[in-house]
Chains A and B, each alone.
Chain A
Amino acid sequence: MSENHLLELKGVDKRFGAVQALNGVDFHTDAGQVMALVGDNGAGKSTLIKCVAGIHPIDGGEILWDGEHVDIHGPKDAARLGIEVVYQDLALADNLDVVQNMFLGRETRSTFRRLDESRMEKETLGVLKDLSVTTIQSPRQTVAGLSGGQRQSVAVAKAVLWNSKLVILDEPTAALGVAQTRQVLDLVKRLGEQGLAVVIVSHNMSDIFEVADCITVLRLGQNVAEFKRSETTQREVVEAITAGTLHTVPGMQEEEVVK
């Protein structure tokens, strides 16, 4: 175990006008660990992810990467650190094929600024194989023709392709059937086994208890609890989600802090 967490957030604040979306949130995750981020709607899960991904700048607190202070000003900064996010709506272009989507925005080129299609296709096949994604017939298939599970696999493979160290998955199983959820959960486990840090946001307790090593609970923009999966129960986590102790009650003065 190294001294530093791979990613550590210390007292992160984020406001949208009058709304305090994140209030002094501490959060951390390590390589080879699957961290689940749970909470009710509006608890700040998506905001937290977007702050790490560089989509929202943070208003207060600090982000540490491998123990070093970092400023993440945009998605490119996050990508440079090795942070990849797989969004709920997947962010794949339907009209492009699997290879084209995997390399979107980071296409490799050969002479005369031409796209190096054969190299991109080869690397795509390699990543799909590493992740044991066997359901995609041809890497030249357009994404429009893929099932939800296959799309999710492409999105995850896309995140892994870039030697990323931290992969964040936003509701990866929300819209999937049973068999496809299976595929994706296997994929998530494999990411952790390959030594990546994984953060998974989900509402589904059984999914979380299947893949996560640790669970962080957010409630009303605050970190209210942290569990090790092996030492907790679904009931305990649900209680934290709905009634976890807040260090500040939103709308009240700072002095009237409730214990």
Chain B
Amino acid sequence: MSGTAVEPSPSAPSTDTPIARGGLTGYARQWIDNVRAGDLGILPILVGIIVIGIYFQARNSNFLTAGNFVNLIAQMSPFAIIGMGMVFVLLLGEIDLSVGYVSGMGGVVAAVLLEPGKGQWPTWLALTAAIGTGVGIGLFQGFFVSRIGVPSFVVTLAGLLAWNGVVLQVIGSKGTIVIQDKLVIGLANDNLSHTLAWIVLIVSVALYLGVQLATVYRRRQAGLANVPMALIAIRTVLLAGIGIFVVEWADTDRGIPYVGLLMLVLLVFWTFVATRTRFGRHIYAVGGNAEAARRAGISVKNVKLVVFAICSAMAALGGIVLASRLSSVDTSTGGGTVLLYSIAACVIGGTSLFGGRGKVSSAILGAIVIAMIDNGLGLLNVSAGTKFVITGIVLLAAVTLDSLSRRKSVASGRA
């Protein structure tokens, strides 16, 4: 019955995707097509990292030493962690300007509760309270954004001011609170042992390979097109190679800091949430077309509320890491470059400010670039002013590149 009135269509049935044909070479060709069409992926940022690395190494031979590499991991970590939360807010097409001082709140709450003396809290409870403070702040701000409809720019701008005020009030006349808790200090200042680093590496690579193979298996069961096995092999070998290089290089000096492991765990966890859960899918949908999401029965309000809570919680966690690096908190905690570097990390890493496009990993990639510039210019004894100007130029360049590639992809119908 069906099809009697249908004219035969000129194109072939769509049961096999273009991916299925041609194997590895087909894949390579498709990738080149994508780049030509303006879908650059992580190509610009990889080029950027290499160029920045070569430039600073040429100017100062200390830049690419193992010791400085370990420093870099610790330096990038607060921006990467805060940025990972920020990615979710940016995916919605919203912004959170309060993350700097919310991170300050996280650090200050942890520091105050862990102050030696009568009222000292157990470490785990103090850290939970600090992150809980972040969740609370996020729910509070998210309430105004999602339920009342105040623009997130304004709500979080108010937050930026208010939480700065709260940090000042809490620190008060003390000026500085030194952190003495071993675990908190160790977070950014202690390093994984050689054995532990290798265990983490092996588990990570095995996990990656396992997930890839399981996907291939399930897709084969369902009779769907698959990525070529050779590609999975190449990716796994590449991942293992980079991992071995990082671990061995860092271990010629102090080794990988614990925050490195923390970043890895957070990256895996939040990437899972963003790409493999219903909630993550809904975040992308709300950012792409809020009305479509609403009509699909998604509670746009709840998604927004939870995302702001995630962002502030991650900011508080980033604040704890920042406090750990400096071993203290003071009245300027969470100020300065924290906010802008965290947002810049996401954007440089390729997350769009217009919502709907981005990855959790962009925060890490962007934070690497920012930390490299910050660190390299520091080695060259450049003034803070020059540092900001250069970082600003890099940010502008990244966003310009993004806009240009987007224009190109619109022109080639891939937007």
Question: What's the least CB distance linking A65 to chain B, in Å?
Answer: 19
Q: B414: which of A130, A135, A145, A189 is its contact (CB, 8 Å)?
A: A145
The answer to whether B17 and A138 touch across the interface, beta carbons within 8 angstroms, is yes
- Shortest C-beta distance, B405 to chain A (Å), equals 14
Contact between chains at A104 and B291 (CB < 8 Å): no
Contact A95–B6 (Cβ < 8 Å): no
Q: How large is the interface on A (under 10, 10 to 19, 20 to 34, 35 or more residues)?
A: 35 or more
The stretch of B44-52, B58-66, B255-263, B280-288 that contacts the partner chain: B280-288
How long is the Cα–Cα vector from A8 to B202 in the complex, in angstroms? 64
In the complex with contacts A107-B278, A145-B415, A189-B5, A118-B221 CB distance below 8 A: yes
| Known contacts A104-B281, A186-B7, A190-B2; A137 and B297 CB within 8 A of each other | no
Q: Find B6's partner among A89, A115, A130, A190 (CB 8 Å cutoff).
A: A190
Check A79–B297 contact: CB distance below 8 A: yes
Q: Decide: B287 and A95 in contact? CB cutoff 8 A.
A: yes
> Considering the chains assembled together, what is the distance between the CA atoms of A55 and B221 in angstroms?
40
| Candidate in B285, B287, B289 with the most chain A CB atoms within 10 angstroms | B289
Q: Is A128 on the interface with B (CB-CB < 8 A)? A: yes
State the CA gap A6–B174 with chains docked (Å). 75
Contacts of A182 in B (CB 8 A): 7
B4 nearest in chain A by CB position: A193
Within 8 Å of chain A (Cβ to Cβ): is B15? yes
Q: Is B19 an interface position by the 8 A CB rule?
A: yes
Asked if B385 CB lies within 8 Å of chain A CBs, one says no
Query: Which A residues, 108 to 146, have Cβ-Cβ distances below 8 Å to chain B?
Result: 109, 113-115, 117-119, 121-122, 125, 128-130, 132-140, 142, 144-145
Chain A residues with CB under 8 A of B12 = 134
Check A114 against B293 for contact (C-beta < 8 Å). no
Q: Which of A100, A107, A125, A132 contacts B3 (CB 8 A)?
A: A132
- Is B122 an interface residue when CB atoms closer than 8 A count as contact? no
How many Å lie between the Cα of A91 and that of B218 in the bound state?
A: 30
Q: If the complex has contacts A135-B11, A136-B14, A140-B17, are A115 and B297 also in contact, measured as CB distance less than 8 A?
A: no
- Asked if A49 is at the interface of the complex by the 8 Å CB criterion, the answer is no
19 chain-A/chain-B pairs, Cβ below 8 angstroms: A75-B295, A75-B297, A91-B289, A93-B293, A93-B356, A94-B415, A100-B281, A104-B292, A104-B296, A105-B293, A106-B296, A115-B281, A118-B215, A121-B222, A130-B2, A132-B6, A138-B14, A145-B415, A193-B4
Name B residues whose Cβ lies closer than 8 Å to a Cβ of A.
1-7, 9, 11-15, 17-19, 215, 218-219, 221-224, 276-278, 281-282, 284-285, 287-289, 291-293, 295-298, 356-357, 413-415
